Structure 1
Amino acid sequence: MSALEVSQKTGRFIGVGVGPGDPELITLKALRLIQRASVVSYLANDEGGSQAKTIASEAFAGVTHAQNEIAIVMPMSTDRSLANEAYDNGAKAIANELLQGKDVVFLCEGDPLFFGSFAYLLERLEGHFQCQVVPGVSSINAASSALNHPLTVLKESFAVVSGRHTAEQIDTALAQHDSVVIMKAGRARPRILMALRKTNRMQDAKYLEYIGRENERIVRDVSTLEDKAGPYFSLFVVTKSERGTR
C-alpha cells in the first residue's frame, strides 16, 4: 500500500477492546462505536468463527443500519509469515473502506494494545489514516477480579511475561518479582509448571482459563493441574502467599 496523507475525508480506523469474555464488560464508548460503525472488522478462524465478535454479540443486536464486515482469517500456525500475510491483506481491505470515508471498527479481545492483534494492523495503517484506540478490560484485570485477589500492594513489584518467552526469562521473572502474570500459557503450560516448581512458587500460583466466559475454569492449587498443554486463552497469576498490612 503506497503512502497516503492523512485526510479529514477518509474514515477512522478504531481499535475497540471488547474485554476478555463477559459481554457486560464492554465499555459504553465501545458499545456506541460498534453500533454506529459503517464497517466492523475482526480476526476469524478458518471456519469464520470470531471470539471478539462473539463477545460483542449483544452490541450488534442494537445496530439499526447495514454494516459491512471484514473478517481477517488468521491461520492457526506458528509461522509468522502466514500471520503477516493475513495482516497485510486485512490492512488493504480496511484501507479500501477508509478511503471511501467509512469508519472501520476493529474488535479486539481484551485491550487493543495489550498483546492485541490490533497493534499489527495499526503499524500498517498509522500515518496513512486517522487512528483511534478505545481501551478494554484486559484478561489480567479480569483474572484478578475473578480471584478476588489484588495483583500488587504496597511496594510489590509486578511483571507480565508470556508463555512464548524462554524458560530462563520465565524463571528470572518469577525469582525477581513479587507478582507475575504469565500470559498465553497454552502449549507452554508444562514448561510454566516446571518453572514454578524450580523457583518454589507453586503455592503462590493460580491458573485461569476462558475468564468471564461460560467455560471459565479456575485452579487455585496448581499442583493438581494436568501437566500438559492447555487452551490458548489461559494464564497464570502468581502473587506472594503472605502480604504485609502496612
Structure 2
Amino acid sequence: MKLYVVGIGPGNPELLTLKAKNILEKISLIFYPTGGKNRTALSIIEKIVDLKHKTLIPLHFPMKKTRNTDLNLHWQKLAETILKNLEFFKEAVFITLGDPSFYCTFFYLYPFLKDKIKVKIIPGVSSINACACAIPVSLALGDETIAIIPANYVNRIKNLLYEFNTIIFMKPHKSLNKIFDFLEDEKFQVYGVKNASSSEEKIFLDIDDFKKEDLNYFTTIIVRKK
C-alpha cells in the first residue's frame, strides 16, 4: 500500500508541479484536509485535474495548537481512515497546500502510518516563495540569514529582528499590532502578501499599507533589514 503526500502549491493551480499533476491524474483515491467547510486544497486541483471519477475523502483537522491525548486520538483515527481505504485502493494521494515539509498537517498522522505503508512525499511551491516572488524581494543574498516563525511567538522576536537579515511571519493576522510595535524602527523594510498567487492576491509594500481587516490566515509578512 502506498500513499503520496502531494504539495499543490500556494493557490494558483498553474503552480502545481508536473509531477503532482501526473500523480493526481493517475490515482483514483484522494484525501484532502479540511477545517470544516474549508475545501481550499480541493478547489485548487479541481481546476487542473478531472475529479469526476475520483473518490474524494475529507479529513478534518481541528484548528488547535496544543498536542494532547484527545488530539492524538483524532490523528490516529484519521490515519486509520487512510489505512482502511488503502486496503481496497492500494494507492492514494493526500493533498496539502504549499510544500508538505513546511507546516503540513499530514505529519500529525505520519507516526501512525510510517511503519504500515509506504509514504512518498512530493514537494510543492511554498507560500513563502510565492510571496517573495510576488513582491518581488530576495529573501537572502550571500551570507544573509533567515528566520521563519509563527506570529503568535511575537513576544520573542525582538532579538531575532537584529540577529537575522530576514524575518518571515506566518499567520500574522491576529498579532499585527504587536508585530508592528517592533517594526517602527526605520531599519526595517516591511512587506506583506495576502492569498499569494491566487485571484485574490493583495500585496503590501510598506508598513503603512497594512490594515488588519485586510489580512487573513493566508497572509505572510516579510521583514528585511534596510
Task: Give the partner amino acid of 2:112.
Answer: R
Are the equivalent residues in 2 in contact too, given 1:41–1:69 (CA < 8 A)?
Answer: yes
Matched, 1:236 2:225: no
Deviation (angstroms), 1:86 = 4.0
Matched, 1:188 2:153: no
Superposed CA offset, 1:46-73 (max 9, x none)? 23x3111111112332x57x32222012
Are the equivalent residues in 2 in contact too, given 1:91–1:121 (CA < 8 A)?
Answer: yes
Are the equivalent residues in 1 in contact too, given 2:154–2:175 (CA < 8 A)?
Answer: no
Residue equivalent to 1:96: 84
Q: Which residue among 226, 231, 234 is the counterpart of 2:211?
A: 226
Residue equivalent to 1:7: none
Q: Name the CA distance, whole Å, in 2 between partners of 1:201 and 1:67.
A: 53
Residue equivalent to 1:40: 30
Matched, 1:24 2:14: yes
Residues 227/28 of structure 1: CA separation in 2 closer, same or farther (3 Å cut): closer
Q: Name the CA distance, whole Å, in 2 between partners of 1:152 and 1:23.
A: 27
Residue equivalent to 1:55: 44
Matched, 1:116 2:104: yes
Q: Name the CA distance, whole Å, in 1 between partners of 2:207 and 2:112.
A: 40
Residue equivalent to 1:73: 60
Are the equivalent residues in 2 in contact too, given 1:187–1:229 (CA < 8 A)?
Answer: no
Task: Give the partner amino acid of 1:212.
Answer: S
Deviation (angstroms), 1:83 = 5.1
Superposed CA offset, 1:111-166 (max 9, x none)? 01101112112222112110000000001111111012111112111111111324
Q: Name the CA distance, whole Å, in 2 between partners of 1:225 and 1:205.
A: 10
Residues 147/224 of structure 1: CA separation in 2 closer, same or farther (3 Å cut): closer
Deviation (angstroms), 1:202 = 7.1
Residue equivalent to 2:143: 155
TM-score (norm 1): 0.83
Superposed CA offset, 1:192-245 (max 9, x none)? 222223xx267411011100111111111113322569311111111232xxxx
Task: Give the partner amino acid of 1:18.
Answer: I
Q: Name the CA distance, whole Å, in 1 between partners of 2:213 and 2:178.
A: 9
Q: Which has the larger share of strand?
A: 2
TM-score (norm 2): 0.90
Are the equivalent residues in 2 in contact too, given 1:34–1:59 (CA < 8 A)?
Answer: no
Matched, 1:216 2:187: no
Q: Which residue among 178, 181, 187 is the counterpart of 2:165?
A: 178
Matched, 1:205 2:190: yes
